[in-house]
Chains A and B, each alone.
Chain A
């Protein structure tokens, strides 16, 4: 079935370094992709999204790259800070049957080391 997976369940990075979180998706018909950040005890929060007709989108300290050829999505966080410690989920959003469906990956835990 449809699924979104992640290569690394846990990623540890030094404070100040750049982080790269990867995600593989399976539905080539997905129209959007979103990265969410979930801090402990809270609901997932939107970080950045990208449409399927784009390759790259930049936000504040974050960049999302989309490679449709290999169905790969990545989130780059520049100058990682302690507040970036969280679980990050990618989600693919295909538009089917007149509605958007949100398919989440299993998540990557990012640990920022002081």
Chain B
């Protein structure tokens, strides 16, 4: 168990709909990262938050948005869903930068989104 919790584990929805994916980072981790993984593909970085603020953005579509709340949990919102949005969405968390500790990011088990 990585300590990162993602809900729901599975989600099936229709095209055009909107969904919200939730991530609870490890206790004490301030950084949260979101990744998209299509079938048999690599991890595409979407967005990163640090202590409530957006820190880095990857190839995230305008239809997607995210936020990190004061309790450090994060939500990824996907709207106007298309068939091609079907993928595994992973959240990862890591310690604050510059702390001198390990830099590894701990991943949740992912949310499998199927758009039909």
Q: Mark B9-45, 1 if CB is under 8 A from A, else 0.
A: 0000000000000000000000101010000011101
Contact with A along B92-116 (1 / 0, CB 8 A): 1010011000111111111000000
A35-46 interface bits toward B, Cβ cutoff 8 Å, 1 = contact, 0 = none: 010000011111
Q: Which residue of A lies closest to B95 (CB)?
A: A100
> Does A98 contact B55, Cβ atoms closer than 8 Å?
yes
Bound together, the chains give a CA A100 to CA B30 distance in angstroms of 12
Are A44 and B43 within 8 A (Cβ)?
Answer: yes
| B interface, size bucket | 20 to 34
Q: How far is the CA of A10 from the CA of B38 in the complex (A)?
A: 17
CB nearest to B9 among chain A residues: A41
Residue of B nearest to A95 (CB): B97
Q: How large is the interface on A (under 10, 10 to 19, 20 to 34, 35 or more residues)?
A: 20 to 34
Known A32-B103, A45-B107, A49-B104: A104·B43 in contact at CB below 8 Å: yes
Give the contacts of A99-114 with B (CB-CB under 8 A): 99-107
- By a CB distance below 8 angstroms, the chain A residues around B42 are 89, 104-107
Whether A34 contacts B55 by the Cβ 8 Å rule is no
Give Cα distance in the complex from A54 to B109, angstroms. 31
Can you identify 14 A-B contacts, CB atoms within 8 angstroms? A32-B103, A43-B108, A44-B92, A45-B2, A49-B102, A49-B103, A89-B43, A96-B56, A99-B55, A99-B56, A100-B97, A102-B33, A106-B42, A107-B43
Q: Which residues of B contact A (CB under 8 A)?
A: 2, 4, 31, 33, 35, 41-43, 45, 48, 50, 55-56, 90, 92, 94, 97-98, 102-110
What are the nearest 3 A-B pairs in CB distance? A43-B107, A106-B42, A104-B43
